[in-house]
């Protein structure tokens, strides 16, 4: 149903604005968005709609929870992908997540190139891996930790969701 994608798009636009302003996606957007997505799919699809929404919620939330545990994204992003899944189902949530990660990689590379840190980081990685293989010690990998590149993940989610939507249209 097209209206599910429209409502999801409106919620994602609100999330984009808040993420750009504060690097946070508030619970007062994601939690009611998940609940209403479950409710609407249940009302309009019965048990099939309910299972469709729960599968989407579990797929989006579960996949992004793994990335959260790795420190790659924030908790708001996890709940946001649960919201996407609750409105649009498991297949769309999965495709959106994959495309979003792809776009996040492109944005991260762009930031590295813009800051001209790429060569320094590659040298550190090569040095640390060399130390690991030569000295059989992982101390260099742990001691050389530095801050991650941070940017609002929504800047990757929006093109990811649009790409998933275009994929589903074809």
Position 146 pLDDT exceeds 80: no
Q: Stretch 43-48: mean pLDDT, rounded?
A: 95
**pTM (two decimals):** 0.80
Residues in CB range of 17: below 8 A, 6 or more apart: none
Mean pLDDT rounded to a whole number for the chain: 87
**Tens of pLDDT, residues 57-85:** 999 999 999 999 988 899 999 999 999 99
Local confidence band at 137 (pLDDT 50, 70, 90 cut-offs): low
- Structural domain boundaries of the chain? 2-169
């Amino acid at each position: 149903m097209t209206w599910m994608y429209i409502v999801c798009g409106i919620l994602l636009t609100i999330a984009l604005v808040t993420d750009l302003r504060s690097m946070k996606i508030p619970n007062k957007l994601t939690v009611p968005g998940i609940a209403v997505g479950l409710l609407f799919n249940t009302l309009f699809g019965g048990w099939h709609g309910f299972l469709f929404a729960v599968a989407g919620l579990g797929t989006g939330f579960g996949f992004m929870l793994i990335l959260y545990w790795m420190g790659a994204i924030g908790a708001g992003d996890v709940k946001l992908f649960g919201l996407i899944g609750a409105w649009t189902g498991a297949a769309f949530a999965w495709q959106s997540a994959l495309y979003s990660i792809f776009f996040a990689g492109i944005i991260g590379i762009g930031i590295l190139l813009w800051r001209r840190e790429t060569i320094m980081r590659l040298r550190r990685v090569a040095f640390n891996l060399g130390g690991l293989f030569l000295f059989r010690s992982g101390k260099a990998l742990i001691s050389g930790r530095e801050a991650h590149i941070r940017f609002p993940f929504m800047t990757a989610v929006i093109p990811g969701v649009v790409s998933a939507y275009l994929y589903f249209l074809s």
